[in-house]
Structure 1
Amino acid sequence: MKEEEKELENLQVSNVEGMWSEWSPCSRTCDGGTSFQIRKCNEVNGCFGETLRYRLCNMQACPDGVEFRDQQCASFNQIPYEGQTLEWSAYQGPQDDPCELRCIANTGLVATLAPQVQDGTRCKPGTLDLCVNGKCQRVGCDLVIGSEARVDICGVCGGDGSTCTQPLYHWVVEPASLCSVTCGNGYKMSQVLCRNIVTGHIVDSQLCDESQKPETKMIECNIHPCPAKWVGSSWSKCSVSCGGGSRSRTFSCMRKANSTLTKVPDFLCKGTRPREREPCNTVPCPPTWEVGPWSGCSVSCGEGVQTRSVTCKTSPYFSTEESFCDKNLKPDSTQSCTTGIPCNTGDKGGFLHGYLPFRPIAERLISEPVISSLSSNQPE
């Protein structure tokens, strides 16, 4: 037998039409419960009207602040559900019956743990309406179940709005956009709205005094400084196109304020400075011909020959066989050259191409003619 049926048996009930029993004990000790009365009909005369009525009771807030619906869900924590013990809390979806006990487990499972909540449970958070016998009952501002009494624009329960001594509506300035930055002094636009002073609801702007309307403005926001961070330049061009080179960049500790980056001491930046040099173009270079400088001309007068080294290399430091390089692209290793100095041929005139003797001897030969030993034996 249900608890409510037991209470009905214990009530002193009059069998006379219109005579109600005593009020039952309150269903809750705090935060709003329900109590009820019943009456039974005198079968001789017949009866008209309700046989059961409710009222609210114990409306004072509970000291622990725990929602009644949460308490009911938590009562199932020690009861196995589908073979496991779960921790439950209240859950209400937009389409759920407000007077069903719907709960969500710590695993995310949502289930109906009871067909109806206990009497006195709020239909929805923030309302006076209560569940009674599994049905959501309207509760007026006079705390009477089934009452249509509502608070008027002056904040008076059941009033007609004629008791206000202060303006009912006022202008409020509120943000109309998100802050332009998350730190470092940004701004956001404001908007001016007309609100009901009592309910806080937005109403038609015609209800507010136009002469008192404030102007929209820019509001400063997120004025706290941004954390400093490392800001780096772009990488430089790689030092080589292949064979392994390096590239570099520079980092500075910067802080943003008023949309401007400012250099600050390095210790303000968290973490170590990012690396400023790294290898690049590490792919091996194809073998290429590398030439050395030209030698001096092979003669001191007239025309001669110059030579140079031509080497097949895979890098500036490593040589390889010439067969790995394209022989059609091999540079010349010799070329003709001229000193611009004519060679002297002696008495017969003209020039002699070739090597000159050691310079002191050459100069002497030019300035002092050689007398042959044969010439002294010739007859005059």
Structure 2
Amino acid sequence: LISGLRFNQISISTAVPYSMRRPELSENSHMSPSRLRLFRRLFFAHTTSFFHSNEFDVSPVGHDDISLADMYRWKVSAYAPCSSTCTSGISTSYAMCVRYDGVEVDESYCDALTRPEPTHEFCTGRDCQPRWETSRWSECSRTCGEGSQYRTVRCWKMLAPGFDSSVYDDLCEAAGLARPMERKACKNKACGPQWELSEWSECSARCGSQGTMKREVRCSVEVSLCDESQKPNSEKTCTGPPCDRHWTTSDWGPCSGSCGEGRMSRFIACRNLEGKVISNSQCDPATKPLAVHPCGDKNCPAHWVEQEWEQCDASCGRGMKTRLVLCAGLENGVYREYPEKRCEASQKPEEQAACFRRPCSTWFTTSWSQCSKTCGAGVRLREVKCYQGEVLAQGCDPTSKPEARQMCQLQPCPTEAPEDACEDKATANCVLVLKVKLCSHWYYRKACCWSCRLKS
């Protein structure tokens, strides 16, 4: 009789968690002691009310009639705190299982199939704090021995959602952030004896002929300690430039004085077919036009006429310079050259003179290191030193300094490796970012780089 009754439209099974309800409850049903005690309280409460009354609508004191659907239900909470502490983030709602009187209970009492889906919305946190960002360390400045590595350090700040920018360093310093170091020491294998080379000289050949190029080869320590069998060549053959060079002249300038003293001069340049001025050594000296003419009178007797000095024959230090001295004059305004004996009445000017160019400081380089990568784009390094004689110096021409770093690529990589910097930030909820499809947003694509890349 009792098992077939319903009290206040509440079945006995209502107090059992939803996940444990069965068509019937037997002695073999598995129920925790706490839930069994709840079952018994409800059972005896209703049976007691039944035997003390002849009516079927007896209610427990303080309870209204409650339907089965309203005994336990899902309740959507307010949104959780913003996922980002600054700028934009995501706030997510969540559902909790509550009893008819509003008390939160275990989720197993509610029907999982009717649980509401969480909702998400953007939220804004406080102003973002600045931070230091660093680049990767450079290669060691020396291929052997002790050197230095460098990196760039900048202050960054998120100014607006999706807008991360570098800012003045003062912002990071004012926030009390310790500046990361920009330089650190690095050490490679000890520098043993090695050959050091100067740059190749110009080819000695004229156009269309063969010549030689030379360079200095020296040992970084005592010559006896360097391997002579590995010594690089100090001379090699070369072919002169194409025969497209020619001399060009400017207009004559004004006369500087009277006959015998007066001179007219003009500029002489060696040019290629494109009209570009090149070294005078690239044009034939035998065909070089005169740069200086006598002047001062229509008829000017023979006298010594000095041409301009040629360049010093030494690239540095002491050398000799030469010039052409001619016995020449004018007849009816026309330039004429005469035998030297016509001018012997006066002393012939010097045709040679000592000259001195900058101190002999020369750039020397070591051989290139191996490429830093076995595939793809890498770099190779070498040491560049300035020597004056046998001593390291500072007098080398900086404009002609050989490069110390060079790009290299041994072979293409089979597949492009992922960027080293592409990783998920620990502060980002990347599972949620993927779920609400935020990888198209600049900020979240960067914060969850690895997850977004795998998803795509």
TM-score by length of structure 2 reads 0.30
Which structure has the greater CA radius of gyration? 1
